Amino acid sequence: MDLFRKKLAVLDLTHGGIPIAKKLAALGNDVSGVDVYGTVDQALLGELEDKYGIRCSKSPLPVSKLDLLIAPVHLDPAYPMLSQARSEGKIVLSHHEATGKILQDDPELSGIRIVEITGVKAKTSTASLLADMLSRRFEVVLHTSRGLEAWKDGVPFLIYRGLSITPGSILTAIEKSLEAGIKPEFFIFEISIGGTGAADLGILTTLSPDYGIANNTSLASDAKLQLILKAKSGSTLLLNAGAEKALVAAKGSRAKILTFKDPFYAESHVKTSEVPDFVLETEAGTAKSSAIPESSTPKEQAITPEASGSALHFLHRGEELFTASLRPGYNSLAYRTAFVAASAAALELGVERKAVVSVLEEFRGLSGRMQEKELNGTSLVDNSNSGMDILSAEKALEYALLKKKDEKKRSIILVLGEEASQVCEGLSPVSVQEFVEKFGIKCRHIILVGERMKAVAAKNVSYAGNLPEGLLKASELAGTEDIILSSVKCFR
């Protein structure tokens, strides 16, 4: 279905609906915008009406005279307009689908290849590593939760900061890039909960841990399958070989299917009949980490500080393509999915092996993703980022405890929580309470960040309003013989 001269409504102006509504209005459609959550400033709604001709409402609108609705995959299907649309047989497109249709018809994107990366974990790190690798040969624009960046010859330049990774934000990212006079050879987009169908290469990092969306009426993993089900003819999909649901969805796809196996990731139980195209093995000392039994869980797998500075062996269907020696200073095992996915994608897109190896060997970790730093003379393990969840916090604590033992440190000061509950659905206070009860004794003190964390109670706990305040308090409590572990869900 084309999006031209239609009468339509864009639902949810909070999570990426505004750029979609603007673009559709500019294309000649009769557009209404519905502020489903009532969170958009009235002045902005007025501007949308006055400047763009988009009629806005904070209440549900009748759908009988509409040609179609555009709604995010996470919206409760019981929302009155969606319920009415189903009863009247109206077409409902997702924000992803609408964005994809807009992108495919955009003449300004002629000659530019698009990479979309979705999944539960490792999206930002995969996208960032791939941007670095591609930039050794091509001009690249990267949009992730870290910001909108132009990459050339391994060097990033910030174009814009503050966009989310909703599908609608892709439209703004492209607009900001072109306004800056940058027309790259590649756009790389980190995208939440699915794909638009416009990608020349789509990457699925992981499907687990899964979680409910749309008021728990559906699973995020099903929504992420849009990357596969909407893939355009002639495109390529790079899928985690352990995500069986994705492999099933890919059968009969018009796209070229490639798979990768991360031997450390819990979901990578690959049937013997299914041979992944790309496999990553790591080696620390004389023991290969890939020897860990596939039946083990992340908690059972030994994560040691010595893993940094190890070697990577990258194989294509049993043949080793290259080996890379990693730098120390970060937990390289936290990047296992990103290493294999980015390397496979870069090679598929025409980057030379030596450039891929160079990026891996120069890599020092991403800020907020298991990177080791110093804070006022105290060792800091930085695990604060937009994708941080309670499982990530557990793994980070496990790593910090092993670092404490290995380096004979005195104690751990943990900074845990969220800066905003809206960041990728926030961090549940219930899960934090369970974490504190289970692991709190392993820390000398825990500083909980965020208003909602005040509901969490424990003996060795204090509170902070945001991450900088939490780190300041931790720095005041810690000495040079301690470790500060920062695990806060936040945009950075």
pLDDT value for 271: 54
Give the confidence band of 491 by pLDDT, cuts at 50, 70, 90.
confident
Supply the mean pLDDT for the chain: 88
Q: Which of 294, 190, 183 is nearest to 242 (CA)?
A: 294
Task: Name the band, by pLDDT with cuts 50, 70 and 90, for residue 267.
Answer: very low
Confidence of residue 227 (pLDDT cuts 50, 70, 90): very high
CB atoms within 10 A of CB 53: 13
Between CA 11 and CA 69 the distance in angstroms is: 7
Percent above pLDDT 90 for the chain: 73
Looking at residues 188-209, what average pLDDT do you find? 95
pLDDT of residue 365: 85
Q: Which two tokens stand for residue 291?
A: 């020897």
C-alpha–C-alpha distance, residues 410 and 379, integer Å? 11
Q: CATH homologous superfamily of domain 106-362?
A: Mur-like, catalytic domain (3.40.1190.10)
- pLDDT surpasses 60 at 106: yes
Note if the bond before 209 is cis, omega within 30 degrees.
yes
Q: What is the pLDDT of residue 265?
A: 54
The answer on pLDDT for 288 being more than 50 is: no
SS3 content of the chain, % helix, strand, coil (to 5): 35, 25, 40
Task: Name the pLDDT band for 58 (thresholds 50, 70, 90).
Answer: very high
Is 454 in contact with 329 (CB distance < 8 Å)?
A: no
pLDDT category, 209, cuts 50, 70, 90? Answer: confident
Tokens at 91, concatenated: 């077409």
**What is the arithmetic mean of pLDDT over 213-234?**
94
On whether the CB atoms of residues 393 and 435 are closer than 8 A, the answer is yes
Contacts of 388 (CB under 8 A, 6+ apart): 368, 427, 487, 488, 489, 490
Interval 409-459: pLDDT, tens: 999 999 999 986 444 456 889 999 999 999 999 999 999 999 999 999 888
Q: Do 246 and 285 meet the contact criterion of CB atoms below 8 Å apart?
A: no
Q: Per-residue pLDDT averaged across 251-268, rounded?
A: 78
Please report which confidence band the pLDDT of residue 289 belongs to, taking 50, 70 and 90 as the band edges. Answer: very low
Question: Per-residue b/e over 414-430, b at no fewer than 16 CB within 10 Å?
Answer: bbbbbbeeebbebbebe
* CATH class belonging to 371-489: alpha beta
| Four-residue CA torsion sign, 259, 261, 266, 272 | positive
Please give the Cα distance from 304 to 299 (Å, whole number): 12
Lowest mean pLDDT among 120-134, 161-175, 259-273: 259-273
How many angstroms separate the most distant Cα atoms in the chain? 70
Residue 263 pLDDT: 62
Q: What is the pLDDT of residues 303-348, one digit of tens each?
A: 343 444 588 999 999 899 999 999 887 878 788 899 999 999 999 9
What contacts 396, CB < 8 A, 6 or more positions away? 370, 381, 383, 485, 487
Supply 74's token pair. Answer: 């996470």
Q: Mean pLDDT across the stretch 101-122?
A: 94
Whether the pLDDT of residue 269 is over 80: the answer is: no
Band the pLDDT of 195: cuts 50, 70, 90: very high
**Residue 372 — pLDDT band, cuts 50, 70, 90?**
confident
CB 307 within 8 A of CB 282: yes
Amino acid type, 93: L
pLDDT for res 333: 79
Q: Mapping DSSP to helix (H, G, I), strand (E, B) and coil, where does residue 228 land?
A: helix
E strand or H helix at 447: strand 445-449
For residues 93 and 1, what is the distance between their CA atoms, to the nearest angstrom? 10
The dihedral over CA atoms of 51, 55, 59, 61, expressed in degrees to the nearest 10, equals: -160
With beta carbons less than 8 A apart as the criterion, state whether 26 and 59 touch.
no
At residue 264, the pLDDT reads: 55
Q: How confident is the model at residue 174 (pLDDT cuts 50, 70, 90)?
A: very high
Q: Residue 294: pLDDT band by 50, 70, 90 thresholds?
A: very low
- Can you spell out the DSSP letters for 20-82? HHHHHHHTT-EEEEE-TTS-S-HHHHHHHHHHH--EEESS----TT-SEEEE-TTS-TTSHHH
Q: Is the pLDDT of residue 291 over 50?
A: no
More confident residue, 321 or 270: 321
Percent share of the chain, pLDDT over 70: 90
- When mean pLDDT is compared across 22-26, 211-215, 387-391, the lowest value belongs to 387-391
7-94 CATH choice from 3.40.50.300, 3.40.50.720, 3.90.650.10, 3.40.190.10 = 3.40.50.720
Contact 31, 21 (CB under 8 A): yes
Domain boundaries, the chain: 7-94, 106-362, 371-489
Does the pLDDT value for residue 189 go beyond 50?
A: yes
Parallel/antiparallel/unpaired status of strands 236-240 and 218-219: unpaired
Asked if pLDDT for residue 256 goes beyond 80, the answer is yes
Q: What is the pLDDT of residues 16-45, one digit of tens each?
A: 999 999 999 999 999 999 999 999 999 999
**Average pLDDT for 154-166:** 92
DSSP structure class, residue 407 = T
